[in-house]
Structures are given as structure tokens and as C-alpha cells.
Amino acid sequence: MARILGGITTSHIPAVGNAIANKLFDDPYWKPFFDAYPPIHDWLARVKPDVVINIYNDHGLGFFLDKMPTFAIGAAHEYRNEDEGWGIPQLPPFPGDAAFSWHIIEGMVADEFDITSCQELAVDHGFTVPMQLFWPKLGQDPNFPRAIPISANTVQHPIPTLHRALEFGRSLRKAILSWPRDIRVVVLGTGGLSHQLDGQRAGFINTAFDKYCMEKIVSAPDELTRISRMELVEKAGAQGTEFLMWLMMRGALGEKVNLLTQNYHVPISNTGAGTMLLECAD
């Protein structure tokens, strides 16, 4: 049966994509951010996941404000990266696992989650930046996994509650573990942490709240579900709502996890950037 190896968190801001393209890994502004990733590269090279489930939020490429699904799961054989106007180089298509995707969708619908299934899906920086960060050689890496994108609505209110996000992850876990084939899976929770890109609070970062979330997501994720949606906006900023995708990832990992490495750095493009590697304890 399928086995979940662990989960990884990361920011996915488009400026990171430009920094990767320009090889700014040792630039003083970027080095404290990129220094977080070599230990994760080592872990991925050791555990060799067959499939990566990438939980991200679409920024207007695959969906837009007129049609924004709460939860969408890719069910394609590949996922295209298209130009979204940030000047980031376009990447080759990412290989999918359509059969496994449909199994997950079927399981989660049976668990009473309403899923938008996508047999075609263009993926933006929310998906591609984490893939570049964790697998720098992308398709040239012999251990490069097949990908399943899961897009969550963090943009068009009403967004999901943090409780619903955590329960989504738990349902996702059930669906993954019921897959009869022997595969290794890693789950990404992307976005955030605190940031606000516009309005009167543009540039807002709440380091204390970010570190509280990074602490509680390891050992007490249910405590975070007490934070209301409006409180999340107040404490993390308008775009800090992306934290709900971290909880979706966390729910998929089971009750106990081991924190292997973490990093927190500000300001990267006016964002509190948190990176964590959580290995399943079971």
C-alpha cells in the first residue's frame, strides 16, 4: 500500500523563481532563505518519493475570481506551466499520476468533500517554485517524482476554515493510504507565512504569530483550528491566509511527526518565509 513519508513547507513567492533563474543562492539578501533547502535535498535523495502531492493556491492562471473552487485536485497525465507575467522562465510540463489522482478524488468525495477534478490544469508559481526548490534539477533528476497538484482557495472569500483545512488533510491521508500499490508519497504545504501585498497594511509581517504557527503545527495542530478566518487575516495579513494549506498538509501526516529541520527568514519579498521538514513518526 501507499506510504506517506512526510511533509514539507515552503514559501512559493514568484520572486524566488526569479532568484533561482538568476542563481542568486549566495546573494546576501537570498542566502539565509536558500540555506534552508540542502538538508531537505539530502532527505529527499535518501527517501526517494515516487509521488509528490503539492498543495498550493492558484493565482489566476488555472482559476480566476469568477470561478474559484474551494478545493481542486489535478487528474491529468501532465501539468503545464504557462507564462503568468512575472518574468519567470517557463518550465517543461510536470508528469502526473492520473490513476492515483482519481483514486484520491473518489476517496475524498466518498468522505463527503466536494472536489473539483481537473483533467487539464495550468500550474503557476505557487506550484512550480516549490518544485524547483526541492528538486533543483527537475526532470534531469532520476528520482524526480510524479506530481499531483491540489489547489485551495485562499483568495476569494469565503475561504475554508482552518478546521476544514486540517480535516481535508486527514481525509487526504485516508485516501492515500488506501491506494493498494506500494508507492512512497511526500506532501507539500506551500505559501505564507504572514504577508500582505497591498492596502493600508502592505508589507505587514507578524513574526511572533508565524513562529507560534510553526511551533503548534508540529505537536498541536488542532489548537490552530481555533483561529477564525477573520482572525487569520488580522494576524497573518490578507495573503497570510495561505497558512491553511500548511494545515492541509499537516492533516495528511497523521497524529505524530518528527521535526527534522526548520528555517524562518524575513523579509523575503515582504513575506515571512517558513521552511519545515516533518517526517511521519509512524
The domains found in the chain, sorted by start residue, are 3-280 (3.40.830.10)
Q: What is the pLDDT of residue 206?
A: 95
pTM of the model: 0.95
Q: Report the first-to-last Cα separation within the chain, whole angstroms.
A: 14
pLDDT at residue number 67: 87
The C-alpha cell that represents 136 in the structure block: 533543483
- By the 8 A CB rule, do 237 and 196 touch? yes
Which tens digit of pLDDT belongs to each residue from 221-255? 999 999 999 999 999 998 999 999 999 999 999 99
Q: What is the pLDDT of residue 201?
A: 86
Annotated active-site residue in 125, 157, 163, 265:
125
Non-local (6+) Cβ contacts of 13 within 8 A are: 125, 129, 268, 269, 271, 273
Instruction: State the Cα–Cα distance between residues 80 and 102, nearest whole angstrom.
Output: 19
pLDDT at 83: 75
Per-residue pLDDT of the chain (282 residues; tens, 9 = 90+): 899 999 999 999 888 999 999 999 999 999 999 999 999 999 999 999 999 999 999 988 888 888 899 999 999 999 999 877 777 888 999 999 999 999 999 999 999 999 999 999 999 999 999 999 999 998 788 889 999 999 999 999 999 999 999 999 999 999 999 999 999 999 999 998 998 978 888 878 999 999 999 999 999 999 999 999 999 999 999 899 999 999 999 999 999 999 999 999 987 778 999 999 999 997
Question: At which residue does the C-alpha cell 493510504 appear?
Answer: 177
Q: What is the DSSP letter of 96?
A: B
Instruction: With beta carbons less than 8 A apart as the criterion, state whether 180 and 261 touch.
Output: no
pLDDT of residue 65: 83
Sheet holding 94-95: strands in order across?
94-95, 78-81, 122-123
Active site residue 265: no
Q: Which of 12, 59, 103, 195 is catalytic?
A: 195
What pLDDT is attached to residue 131? 97
Query: Is 125 known to be catalytic?
Result: yes
